[in-house]
């Protein structure tokens, strides 16, 4: 079994529970309160700034030039791609750049990104890839599920969000990370694999916590 498949199997039950979370299901059926989504957008933007730093550490830890270039591209795609989508959404929701800059980062958000940065500082390129994969892959998992919900993609408020995380470009970017995890994770020790399962599970638990945080607007 490839490493990415093993990681997914570890968290499959937890990921399926995301779909039943009221924040996540509210995006699918259009019932999510806009004030909760507004809170989420601000916190997720601040999350992505730290998430980009985790990718950047991958450049430092890269064992080869091609891996270094892949991490550099991931930084660019996050800052210039995913965050640009957030900016468009925030503009429609009346969120200003000043508001985002002055907003406090919620405690769960700080804890999550601090955990990933700790894994990145202490570990190698593979550790970093596994830490970031939980977010990237689980968002694709949710996006693809929601894209099959009748009327979800046409929803005026949340359709663009669903499209963004289910589109071909996003799936290709996630697949690049999966492929790198499988390549660098080939022939690792069982001890290393168990550690990476722990990292992936911890990040997946943080993902669930992020949905809770957003739904409850919890600082």
- Dihedral, CA of residue 64, residue 47, residue 134 and residue 139, to nearest 10: -120
Query: Residue 164 in contact with residue 85, Cβ under 8 Å?
Result: yes
DSSP letter string over 151-203?
TSTT-TTTHHHHHHTTSHHHHHHHHHHHHHHHHHTTT--HHHHHHHHHHHHHH
pLDDT tens-digit readout, 94-115: 888 888 889 999 999 999 999 9
pLDDT tens-digit readout, 129-148: 999 999 999 999 999 999 99
Query: Tokens 């916190």, residue?
Result: 43
Reply yes or no on whether the pLDDT at 84 is more than 80: no
Reply yes or no on whether the pLDDT at 87 is more than 90: no
Question: Residue 82 — pLDDT band, cuts 50, 70, 90?
Answer: confident
Query: Residue 151 in contact with residue 27, Cβ under 8 Å?
Result: no
Question: So what's the pLDDT on residue 94?
Answer: 87
Q: Which CATH fold topology does 3-216 show?
A: Heme Oxygenase; Chain A (1.20.910)
Reply yes or no on whether the pLDDT at 85 is more than 90: no
Question: So what's the pLDDT on residue 128?
Answer: 98
| Mean pLDDT score, 77-95 | 82
> Which residues does the annotation mark as catalytic?
135, 207
Distances in whole angstroms, Cα of residue 162 to Cα of each of 51, 196, 203: 20, 29, 21
Q: What are phi and psi of 65, to 5 degrees?
A: -65, -40
Reply yes or no on whether the pLDDT at 32 is more than 80: yes
| Mean pLDDT score, 59-78 | 93
| Mean pLDDT score, 169-182 | 95
Q: Which run of H or of E encompasses 219?
A: none
Tell whether the torsion through CA atoms of 155, 158, 164 and 165 is positive or negative.
Answer: negative
Reply yes or no on whether the pLDDT at 180 is more than 80: yes
Q: What is the C-alpha separation between 56 and 185, in angstroms, rounded? A: 20
Mean pLDDT of all residues belonging to the chain:
94
Distances in whole angstroms, Cα of residue 28 to Cα of each of 4, 78, 156, 159: 27, 24, 12, 8
Question: So what's the pLDDT on residue 83?
Answer: 79
pLDDT tens-digit readout, 188-216: 999 999 999 999 999 999 999 999 999 99
Q: For the beta carbon of residue 168, count every other beta carbon within 10 angstroms.
A: 7
Question: So what's the pLDDT on residue 155?
Answer: 94
Q: What is the C-alpha separation between 170 and 4, in angstroms, rounded? A: 17
Question: So what's the pLDDT on residue 88?
Answer: 81
Per residue, the 3-state secondary structure of 15-81, as one string, reads HHHHCCCHHHHHHHHCCCCHHHHHHHHHHHHHHHHHHHHHHHHHHHHCCCHHHHHHHHHHHHHHHHH
Sorted by sequence, the CB contacts under 8 Å of residue 58 that are 6+ apart come out as: 67, 71, 74, 120, 125, 128, 129
Question: So what's the pLDDT on residue 96?
Answer: 87
């Amino acid at each position: 079994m490839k490493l990415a498949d093993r990681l997914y199997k570890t968290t499959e039950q937890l990921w399926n529970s995301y779909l039943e979370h009221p924040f996540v299901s509210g995006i699918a059926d259009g019932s999510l309160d806009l004030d909760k989504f507004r809170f989420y957008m601000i916190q997720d933007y601040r999350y992505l700034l730290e998430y980009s730093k985790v990718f950047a550490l991958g450049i430092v830890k890269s064992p080869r030039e091609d891996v270094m270039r892949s991490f550099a591209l991931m930084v660019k795609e996050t800052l210039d791609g995913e965050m640009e989508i957030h900016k468009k959404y925030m503009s429609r929701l009346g969120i200003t750049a000043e508001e985002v800059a002055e907003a406090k980062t919620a405690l769960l958000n700080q804890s999550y990104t601090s955990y990933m940065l700790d894994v990145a500082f202490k570990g190698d390129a593979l550790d970093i890839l596994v830490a970031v994969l939980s977010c990237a892959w689980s968002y694709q998992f949710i996006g693809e599920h929601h894209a099959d919900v009748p009327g979800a993609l046409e929803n005026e408020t949340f359709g663009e969000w669903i499209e963004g995380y289910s589109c071909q470009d996003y799936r290709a970017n996630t697949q690049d990370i999966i492929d790198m995890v499988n390549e660098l994770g080939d022939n690792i020790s069982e001890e290393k694999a168990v550690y990476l399962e722990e990292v992936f599970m911890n990040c997946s638990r943080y993902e669930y916590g992020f949905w809770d945080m957003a739904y409850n607007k919890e600082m």
